[in-house]
Chains A and B, each alone.
Chain A
Amino acid sequence: MIDSGLAQISRALAAREVSSVELTQEYLARIEKENSNLNAYITVCNELALEQANAADAVRSKGEAGAFTGIPIAHKDLFCTAGIRTSCGSRMLDNFISPYDATVVERFKQAGAVTLGKTNMDEFAMGSSNETSFYGPVKNPWDHSLVPGGSSGGSAAAVAARLCAGATATDTGGSIRQPASFTGLTGLKPTYGRVSRWGMVAFASSLDQAGTLTQSAEDAAMMLNVMAGLDQKDSTCSDVSVDDYTAGLDKPLKGLKIGLPKEHFSEGLNAEVEQCIRDAISEYEKLGASIQEISLPNSHLSVSAYYVIAPAEASANLSRYDAVRYGYRCENPVDLEDMYKRSRSEGFGAEVKRRIMVGTYALSAGYYDAYYRKAQKIRRLIKDDFQQAFEEVDVIIGPTSPHTAFPIGAQNDDPVTMYLEDIYTIAVNLAGLPGMSIPSGLVNGLPVGLQIVGRDFSEAQLLNVAHQFQLATDWHTKTPDNQA
């Protein structure tokens, strides 16, 4: 049963074919067996999960169960969970037990979900390979010598290895979509403001967005139904009305206008990956969609702009880790400055320190206009590019990543190569738009992801476009053990 997707599990629970306790026990047993290899979880909540599963079964026996009651999921370890460590993949928060629940966590609790544990991630969500985690790299279930992508690598590996029914994740520059692409999953990054950021440890506040990693679009729709919506605790959370995301999945795609950004099919894109994407495009044509080429002329500037804005915001967001109130504190500080310097030097890893320095520099007197202000102007241009494109087409599709998963350690020497990992995904965050990645083929036995980008708050449409593809193809059902 636990190999099934979240929607199927929901139906099985409703039909009393299985209990939440049985499911939870099965998942915990598999986590016990597999996690030491994969390193997908930082914290496993055995007792809490069984307690919640018992409670869920009790609710169901009283006839009060909802669609999500009793479904075991995992949370990326940057969602605050009351009483459970929230490490953010960092030594800095290795000892941090949150006194409160993130809104996302709270809503899943309310919906009756079971929390299996907290998943590994790049430190403070900074990375594209899950190698910057204080808890060590996560392995790709498709090939343990490869990375699962990042920063939500733990959530991706956990779902891909069927160590949970679905997982929460976050995406600041591609951190949901790229791991989805590398592990053969459906990744959904909603519109900025669709899901509350309250209780989500901040990396770059204007870009961070909570989303999901699941086996299918239908699963993602079920999770978004729980997560989405206004939250008074997050001033940037939108009051745009929330759809029932499962309701519109079956709409036919006839008449859908799809745009292919020519900039996403140029130099640097692996030829076999491109072929998978072209095949997927043909599939969409068969489903009744029309295809046209579009241009996002400023997309080549997106990585540069992103690596000014995100580190700038991060440099301020991470100032609170000063060893005064919680978190890592160095041994025997001699004075305040020593405490600051050594605690932060020892508590943060290399990539986090690099970004804090880049961000601090970009905001410094005399450099602000050349970097931060200019990056914000580029951000505006990129948003305008998309807006113009969406006057002609309904959704934009292309590759999520220029290649398939790469070996652990392959890109450790050159941060810039790593930054270019997110070349197709980053612009979507800068524009605040919703994006998905869905499995669309295999190259040498490794998954390829297709990115779908829509207008602001068009999650229902994106999920519909993804679901119709998944009805017509079976790429999303492939697993490391079953590639046939």
Chain B
Amino acid sequence: MEWETVIGLEVHVQLATASKLFSGTSTEFGAEPNTQANIYDLAMPGTLPVLNKEALKMAVKFGVAIGAEISTTSVFDRKNYFYPDLPKGYQTSQLDFPIVGKGELVIDMEDGTQKTIGVTRAHMEEDAGKSLHEDYPDKTGIDLNRAGTPLLEIVSEPDLRNAKEAVAYLKKMHSIICYLTISDGDMSQGSMRCDANVSIRQKGSDELGTRTEIKNINSFRYVEKAINIEVERQIDLIEDGGRVVQETRLYDADKNETRSMRSKEVANDYRYFPEPDLLPIVIDTKYIEAIRETLPELPDVKCKRFCEQYGLSEYDALVLTSDHATAGYFEIVTAASGDPKLSANWVMGDLQAILNKDEIAINNSPVSADALAILISRIKDNTISSKIAKTVFEAMVDGEGDADSIIESKGLKQVTDTGAIEAMVDEVIANNPDQVEQYKSGKEQVIGFFVGQIMKASQGKANPGQVNKLLKEKLSN
């Protein structure tokens, strides 16, 4: 039987506000436990919430960026459940009237195709604290630093058909929230988390199968693996005559399996009702339009511009624009070096390689955009060859100075003096009569041998174009 996978994602994005959603406490990551929890965060009797206006602005900014409907009246609700790291015994969230309504996201697949995925809604809510089980034998520690941190929960339509699409959706979402600077998007710190609703159905069927929800997946790689393993599990289950149970599951990366969470969790009745401590949020179109005007150039538009303005391939443009900081870096390099193609190759190639290797963000690159531009300029003006440039780049990464000083101190300047090159060519031809014979008998690829010999003799500094030209002239005689 042929199966089709249906996936919907719920993405939780931690908004990059300075303070919490309903209290003035700082949201900075990594402080000592419970040092960032004030009387409201601790749910002291008599305390009341006051909405953080920056969080509202960020939510609206996101909505506008994905072309979604923005609710001029939206309402907070209480979602009731008991948990030690949920101080009030309810989470303040939005149920029936979320701030952001229907919108859409265009995702880019590896094969260059695009697909439009519906976004159902996005709403503001507060995060819970953390329960710490490891450090206290027979006890549970509670850290409320994270309690009340503003989240934007973005819910997709069940439009995704495989794990790769789910990853593409997440990557695009990540790209957009970073462009909008509404979140740092750091998945390792939980600034972006994802729940995946997964079901399967017979190909061609219009009905949705029973879904399971995989909770709290915190990397792109795990999203792909978790979905694939869950789909496999569901197919095996059904093909063996079983039935998928609607439930919440956890992904265990070590074992690469999903497993059921306690059924009690699923049976929760959250008893939502409108939060009486907050009035409905009423905004007008003027407010929305003012935010629209602050929108930066978004990845799709930037990608198109990179193709047109810099003559880049669609692939190169897509890679460069998927990350806001990379796109910015590239534009500085290009402007200073005047060579978009070379700049793109260097940013996507050698630079990206060392960043990946040491897991460094491009903003903290050991080679600044201006420094890389100078290096590229030296290739363009024939001071060094592309090959030598790699040596120079490595020295720059190691902090040995700028391109010019490294070229100077290491004597890497390209030899363009025709007389000097001619002498080397003559010598190599004289020393290798056998290869000369081969060339003359029609085996023209032997020229590579001669070039190699000359580059070796010049320590790579001979201008390869000149070497080729001279060799051909002399060997033809």
Chain A contact residues, CB within 8 Å of chain B: 78-80, 86, 88, 93, 96, 98-100, 102, 197-202, 204-206, 232-236, 312-313, 315-316, 318-320, 322, 324-326, 336, 340, 360, 363-365, 368, 372
Q: Shortest beta-carbon distance, B113 to chain A, in Å?
A: 42
Q: Which B17-49 residues have a C-beta within 8 angstroms of A?
A: 39, 42-49
A236 and B87 in contact, given A96-B45, A198-B47, A372-B273 (Cβ under 8 angstroms): no
User: Contact: A325 with B273, CB < 8 Å?
Assistant: no
* Chain A hits for B50, CB < 8 A: 232-233, 235
Pull 16 A–B residue pairs with CB atoms less than 8 Å apart, ordered by A. A80-B44, A98-B45, A99-B44, A100-B44, A201-B45, A233-B50, A234-B48, A235-B277, A236-B278, A236-B279, A312-B273, A322-B82, A322-B84, A326-B42, A363-B80, A368-B273
A197 and B273 in contact, given A235-B278, A322-B82 (Cβ under 8 angstroms): no
Q: Shortest beta-carbon distance, A346 to chain B, in Å?
A: 16
A322 and B89 in contact, given A98-B44, A205-B276 (Cβ under 8 angstroms): yes
Which residue from chain B places its CB closest to the CB of A320 in the assembled complex?
B43
User: Contact: B82 with A319, CB < 8 Å?
Assistant: yes
In whole angstroms, what is the CA distance A232 to B50 when docked? 8
User: Contact: A197 with B48, CB < 8 Å?
Assistant: yes
Sample of 4 further A-B pairs with CB below 8 A, known A324-B84, A324-B87, A368-B271: A201-B45, A206-B276, A235-B49, A320-B89
* Chain A hits for B45, CB < 8 A: 80, 86, 88, 93, 96, 98, 201-202, 320
Which residue from chain B places its CB closest to the CB of A325 in the assembled complex?
B42
Which residue from chain A places its CB closest to the CB of B49 in the assembled complex?
A235
* Chain B hits for A320, CB < 8 A: 43, 45, 87-89
Q: Is B359 interfacial (CB 8 A cutoff)? A: no
Which residue from chain B places its CB closest to the CB of A312 in the assembled complex?
B273
Q: Is B51 interfacial (CB 8 A cutoff)? A: yes
Among A78, A198, A363, A372, the residue within 8 A (CB) of B48 is A198
Q: Shortest beta-carbon distance, A369 to chain B, in Å?
A: 12
* Chain A hits for B44, CB < 8 A: 80, 98-100, 326
The 3 A-B residue pairs with the shortest CB-CB distance in the complex, in nearest-first order? A319-B89, A363-B271, A205-B276
- Residue in A197, A202, A325 with the greatest tally of chain B CB atoms within 10 Å: A325
* Chain A hits for B88, CB < 8 A: 316, 319-320
* Chain A hits for B48, CB < 8 A: 197-198, 233-236
* Chain B hits for A325, CB < 8 A: 42-43, 87, 142
| Chain B interface residue number, banded | 20 to 34
User: Contact: B80 with A316, CB < 8 Å?
Assistant: yes
Among B142, B269, B276, B278, the residue within 8 A (CB) of A365 is B269
Q: Is B90 interfacial (CB 8 A cutoff)? A: yes
User: Contact: A360 with B271, CB < 8 Å?
Assistant: yes
* Chain B hits for A368, CB < 8 A: 271, 273
- Residue in A96, A204, A322, A372 with the greatest tally of chain B CB atoms within 10 Å: A322
A316 and B39 in contact, given A80-B46, A197-B48, A365-B269 (Cβ under 8 angstroms): no
Among A200, A232, A316, A318, the residue within 8 A (CB) of B46 is A200
Which residue from chain B places its CB closest to the CB of A101 in the assembled complex?
B46
* Chain B hits for A93, CB < 8 A: 45
* Chain A hits for B140, CB < 8 A: 336
Q: Shortest beta-carbon distance, B158 to chain A, in Å?
A: 23
User: Contact: A316 with B279, CB < 8 Å?
Assistant: no
Q: Which B372-428 residues have a C-beta within 8 angstroms of A?
A: none
User: Contact: B82 with A340, CB < 8 Å?
Assistant: yes
Q: Which B64-107 residues have a C-beta within 8 angstroms of A?
A: 78, 80, 82, 84, 87-90
Among B90, B142, B273, B277, the residue within 8 A (CB) of A324 is B142
In whole angstroms, what is the CA distance A86 to B87 when docked? 19
* Chain B hits for A202, CB < 8 A: 45-46, 277
Among B46, B87, B273, the residue within 8 A (CB) of A363 is B273
Q: Which B158-173 residues have a C-beta within 8 angstroms of A?
A: none
Q: Shortest beta-carbon distance, B33 to chain A, in Å?
A: 13
In whole angstroms, what is the CA distance A313 to B275 when docked? 9
Q: Shortest beta-carbon distance, A340 to chain B, in Å?
A: 6
In whole angstroms, what is the CA distance A324 to B86 when docked? 10
In whole angstroms, what is the CA distance A98 to B46 when docked? 10
Q: Shortest beta-carbon distance, B269 to chain A, in Å?
A: 5
Q: Shortest beta-carbon distance, A3 to chain B, in Å?
A: 33
* Chain B hits for A201, CB < 8 A: 45-46
In whole angstroms, what is the CA distance A316 to B276 when docked? 11
* Chain B hits for A100, CB < 8 A: 39, 44
In whole angstroms, what is the CA distance A318 to B88 when docked? 8
In whole angstroms, what is the CA distance A96 to B142 when docked? 20
In whole angstroms, what is the CA distance A96 to B276 when docked? 25
- Residue in B39, B44, B47, B272 with the greatest tally of chain A CB atoms within 10 Å: B44
In whole angstroms, what is the CA distance A484 to B166 when docked? 84
User: Contact: B82 with A313, CB < 8 Å?
Assistant: no
Q: Shortest beta-carbon distance, B157 to chain A, in Å?
A: 24
User: Contact: B46 with A319, CB < 8 Å?
Assistant: no
In whole angstroms, what is the CA distance A316 to B87 when docked? 12
* Chain B hits for A98, CB < 8 A: 44-46
In whole angstroms, what is the CA distance A202 to B142 when docked? 24
Query: B273-302 toward A: CB 8 Å interface, digit per residue (1/0)?
Result: 100111100000000000000000000000
* Chain B hits for A88, CB < 8 A: 45
A235 and B271 in contact, given A100-B39, A198-B48 (Cβ under 8 angstroms): no
In whole angstroms, what is the CA distance A199 to B80 when docked? 22
Q: Shortest beta-carbon distance, B189 to chain A, in Å?
A: 25
- Residue in B43, B49, B271, B272 with the greatest tally of chain A CB atoms within 10 Å: B271
* Chain A hits for B269, CB < 8 A: 364-365
Which residue from chain A places its CB closest to the CB of B277 in the assembled complex?
A205
* Chain A hits for B271, CB < 8 A: 315-316, 360, 363-365, 368
* Chain B hits for A235, CB < 8 A: 48-51, 277-279
* Chain B hits for A79, CB < 8 A: 46
Which residue from chain B places its CB closest to the CB of A88 in the assembled complex?
B45
In whole angstroms, what is the CA distance A280 to B82 when docked? 52
In whole angstroms, what is the CA distance A282 to B42 when docked? 54
Q: Shortest beta-carbon distance, B459 to chain A, in Å?
A: 71
* Chain B hits for A80, CB < 8 A: 44-46
In whole angstroms, what is the CA distance A201 to B45 when docked? 5
* Chain B hits for A315, CB < 8 A: 80, 271
* Chain A hits for B82, CB < 8 A: 319, 322, 340
Q: Shortest beta-carbon distance, A277 to chain B, in Å?
A: 33
In whole angstroms, what is the CA distance A367 to B423 when docked? 97
Among A206, A234, A316, the residue within 8 A (CB) of B90 is A316
* Chain A hits for B84, CB < 8 A: 322, 324, 336
Query: B136-158 toward A: CB 8 Å interface, digit per residue (1/0)?
Result: 00001010000000000000000
In whole angstroms, what is the CA distance A325 to B273 when docked? 25
- Residue in B82, B89, B140, B269 with the greatest tally of chain A CB atoms within 10 Å: B89
Q: Shortest beta-carbon distance, B246 to chain A, in Å?
A: 15
* Chain A hits for B272, CB < 8 A: 363
Which residue from chain B places its CB closest to the CB of A366 in the assembled complex?
B269
A319 and B277 in contact, given A198-B47, A235-B50 (Cβ under 8 angstroms): no
In whole angstroms, what is the CA distance A201 to B279 when docked? 19
Query: B48-61 toward A: CB 8 Å interface, digit per residue (1/0)?
Result: 11110000000000
Q: Which B258-274 residues have a C-beta within 8 angstroms of A?
A: 269, 271-273
In whole angstroms, what is the CA distance A86 to B47 when docked? 13
* Chain B hits for A319, CB < 8 A: 80, 82, 88-90
Q: Shortest beta-carbon distance, A150 to chain B, in Å?
A: 19
In whole angstroms, what is the CA distance A324 to B37 when docked? 15
In whole angstroms, what is the CA distance A96 to B273 when docked? 28
Which residue from chain A places its CB closest to the CB of B131 in the assembled complex?
A336
Q: Shortest beta-carbon distance, A373 to chain B, in Å?
A: 9
Among B47, B89, B276, B278, the residue within 8 A (CB) of A313 is B276
Which residue from chain A places its CB closest to the CB of B40 in the assembled complex?
A233
Among B49, B142, B273, the residue within 8 A (CB) of A316 is B273
Q: Shortest beta-carbon distance, A354 to chain B, in Å?
A: 17
Which residue from chain B places its CB closest to the CB of A99 in the assembled complex?
B39
Which residue from chain A places its CB closest to the CB of B81 in the assembled complex?
A319
- Residue in B43, B45, B88 with the greatest tally of chain A CB atoms within 10 Å: B45
